[in-house]
Chains A and B, each alone.
Chain A
């Protein structure tokens, strides 16, 4: 089954658990023709970046961490939702900061491109507080929900990587800046 509903509670093992999940899910998705190999890698990267962000920066002030990942085929795309019970953050503001930081830096900076990378991977991304009516139960009380889609996209990865000269490369589609310029982020984020 391509649909996945997986809960994570241990922040020490969450990344390993996630990649274990990816290992079998990728094969299923490929066999089912849901996404091509390149698009699956893009989706995995987006989810990895978001969970890495939670592990490194999220605050879970009142309860044990609870994170739920849902993957579901949606016509020709994969729908992904990640809910958590963290205190959340202003995604739009963080993305704007990262972009300004990246553009202003005289040399490529060491940090501050994770959210931009995640957005470049996704379509129709939104990040919102979970409304009271949507909360499932006291035992499973999520506070924020990230949602996006990933569509099949033609890989423009060159087959031969023999000495690719940086100066000879033309900008590729799905690059960072154009994606970020799209209105992808819900302003309701907290």
Chain B
């Protein structure tokens, strides 16, 4: 199963998770995201709209991405979090790691502002 990924300027990748992210397709997400990191993506918006399944292995693949891009100054954020995903986020307390936004657009706007302020500070 593939994960549609769109690039949003400047270096943001929007990943549509789809119906499920679990042990059956977690490796596919890792592979897809790694390719985009190689190509310069530094921030990832995971779009969970309509996602009915997120399990511990799926969550592990997100942590893998997080560990890969955090040293590069990147970040992973969640958007349009569905109720099943929110249950996992809450039980694992991963809201402490991944910021959440109501929509992909809101997440993108916020990431662009942060990127801009970082560039301004530099």
Contacts and interface: CB of A to CB of B under 8 A. Distances in A.
Contact of A52 (B22, B63, B97): B22
B90 A162 contact: no
A42 interface: yes
B106 A174 contact: no
A41 B102 contact: no
Nearest to B96: A166
B92 A176 contact: yes
Given A41-B83, A157-B86, A48 B97 contact: no
A162 B92 CA distance: 20
Contacts of B63: 107-110
A127 B60 CA distance: 25
Interface of A: 15, 19, 37-38, 41-42, 44-45, 48-49, 52, 55-56, 107-114, 117, 120-121, 156-157, 160-167, 169, 171-172, 174-176
A123 B101 CA distance: 32
A114 B23 CA distance: 10
A38 B22 contact: no
A-B pairs with the 9 shortest C-beta distances? A114-B56, A110-B60, A41-B87, A166-B96, A108-B63, A164-B100, A110-B64, A113-B56, A161-B100
A15 B21 CA distance: 12
B90 A174 contact: yes
Contacts of A171: 93
Given A55-B23, A117-B88, A161 B101 contact: yes
Contacts, number: 106
18 contacts: A45-B55, A45-B84, A48-B22, A49-B55, A52-B23, A55-B23, A107-B67, A108-B66, A110-B67, A111-B56, A157-B86, A161-B102, A164-B99, A165-B99, A167-B96, A172-B90, A175-B93, A176-B93
Interface string B26-67: 000000000000000000000000001101110111011011
Nearest to A157: B86
B23 A163 contact: no
B118 interface: no
B13 interface: no
Given A48-B53, A108-B66, 4 more contacts: A45-B87, A107-B67, A156-B90, A166-B97
Contacts of B87: 38, 41-42, 45, 157
Contacts of A110: 60-61, 63-64, 67
A112 to B, nearest CB: 8
Contacts of B59: 113
A37 B87 CA distance: 11
Contacts of A169: 93, 95-96
Contacts of A164: 95, 99-100
B90 A157 contact: yes
